[in-house]
Amino acid sequence: MRTALSVLFALMAAAMFGVASVLQHAVAGTTPAAQNLRLRLLWQLLHRPRWVAAFGLSTLSFGVQAIALYFGPLVLVQPVAATDLLFAIPLIAYRRRQRLRLGDWLGGSLVAGGVSVFLMLAPPSTGRAVPGTIDWLPVFLAVGAVVVIATPVALRAKPTLRTGLLAAMAASLFAVVDSLTKSIVGLVANNGTSILLHWEPYVLCGVAICGLFFGQSAFQSGAILISLPIIDTIEPIGAVLIGATVFAEHIASSPVVLACQILGGAVAVAGIVVLGRSPLMVTLRTRPKDSSADSDQEQATRGIG
């Protein structure tokens, strides 16, 4: 029963995040390119009602995901929560009054099938509810190193590479957010209101803001067909690795099962790539580098908003 509830709430979180991501990309893409990787970008987005509404939906998705993490481990919840493209693609098609194409159905089937295989082979695992502070140190060092190294590279990179690097940094930070959320859920279950006496909620807020900053910069700098598939691939992989190492959650019961799980994960990633290359995603371009609005982007914004 707990597994079924965790999957249900994870799917709800995926649907909310998928819708929110498409709407946030549509708004972020209309901001001046000069604001990329500038705090002013978030300040300006906070003055866009549509973006604020999408941000609220995204925040709600993390709340629903926290409920999913209460019922299930990271290694179960995060692969399901990464299926947001399954909900984003139909939304775009509906708003544009277009039919889903064969490639969309194929990509969706690969994602659903790959995740299903991974979940069916995943053994029941609770692991540690609240890891010790020292257990988090390698995670913070690794993700911090990624951000420190990739940020200056992104500043000098061409648009496509820049978008990919920004999305990868955002995904790495989101994986930490997911994992800290799991830890906070455990703290609340064990300690109740004394949660505010622990460091996890405050670090979670800081990491979430950084993830939001890089994620919106990725949406602002390039097409969503680049950023969202990267986020949907790296975030669950990072969260599963943290679940297996920091939370001591079990992934597979034998090398053969592990190989099958890896194959299922690879199939799901292939599906994400196929969905990311959908013509529906390709048409969601960002604005040009000057401050004038691009007509195609405006049409895309109207089409999904």
pLDDT digits (tens, 9 = 90+) for 212-266: 999 999 988 887 778 888 998 999 999 999 998 999 888 776 788 888 888 988 9
The pLDDT of residue 284: 53
Lowest mean pLDDT among 32-41, 213-222, 250-259, 279-288: 279-288
**Chain center to CA of 298:** 25
Q: What percent of the chain lies above the pLDDT cut of 90?
A: 39
Q: What is the mean pLDDT of residues 271-294?
A: 63
Q: What is the mean pLDDT of residues 38-67?
A: 90
pLDDT band at residue 52, thresholds of 50, 70 and 90? Answer: very high
Average pLDDT, the chain: 84
Q: What percent of the chain lies above the pLDDT cut of 70?
A: 90
Residue 301: pLDDT over 70: no
pLDDT band at residue 302, thresholds of 50, 70 and 90? Answer: very low
The pLDDT of residue 124: 65
Q: What is the mean pLDDT of residues 2-25?
A: 89
Residue 298: pLDDT over 60: no
pTM of the model: 0.84
Q: Tell me the C-alpha distance between 287 and 298, whole Å.
A: 8
Q: What is the mean pLDDT of residues 268-280?
A: 85
Between 122 and 188, name the one with better pLDDT.
Answer: 188
Q: Residues for the chain: how many in total?
A: 305
pLDDT band at residue 193, thresholds of 50, 70 and 90? Answer: low
Q: What is the mean pLDDT of residues 73-88?
A: 88
pLDDT, tens digit (0-9, with 9 covering 90-100), for 131-160: 989 999 999 999 999 999 999 999 899 888
